[in-house]
Amino acid sequence: MLIKALTTADIPALLSIETVANPYPWTEGVFKSCFGSQYFNFGIFDNEQLLGFYFGQFIAIESQLFNICVRRDQQGKGLGSKLLAHFISQSEQRDATEAWLEVRSSNQSAIHLYTKTGFIEAGCRSNYYSSTSGKEDAIMMCLPLRFSN
């Protein structure tokens, strides 16, 4: 398996994974808008087949994980952990002092992964996400990476 940078040519494969794995998937337009100089986007590939991905952004001294997703038939095999570790490594290479993310309060498997990796709960955005029952809270999580100089 290989983790490598994504390009806009990967958008059809990204959409294919995202629409199956996420009840509220990103659109093609959202994916397209996340290819710019402040973004760092990587996928995990096996024989050129995309199995999962993440989209990160770096601004000033912080990085933010916008989306991380693993193909449904590949979930539970540690690919999410590998992608998250890569995101953290890329954040450190950019000299980020903290890495941030938001996660649905109902996504307990993701919260467990983030907590296991060292992220701590830093706040809550009430009624942030759409859900089948109306709205759902977003848990804000932070991973301190290093002290600023």
Catalytic site positions:
102, 114
State how far the alpha carbon of 51 is from the alpha carbons of 17, 78, 115, in Å: 8, 11, 23
Length of the chain in terms of residues written: 149
b/e map of 12-33 (b: 16 or more CB within 10 Å)? ebbeebbeebeeebbeeeebee
Q: Measuring CA to CA, which residue among 39, 42, 34 is closest to residue 3?
A: 42
Pairing between β-strand 49-59 and β-strand 62-70 as defined by DSSP bridges: antiparallel
Q: How far is residue 86's CA from residue 141's CA, in Å, rounded to a whole number?
A: 17
Asked if 24 contacts 130 with a C-beta cutoff of 8 angstroms, the reply is yes
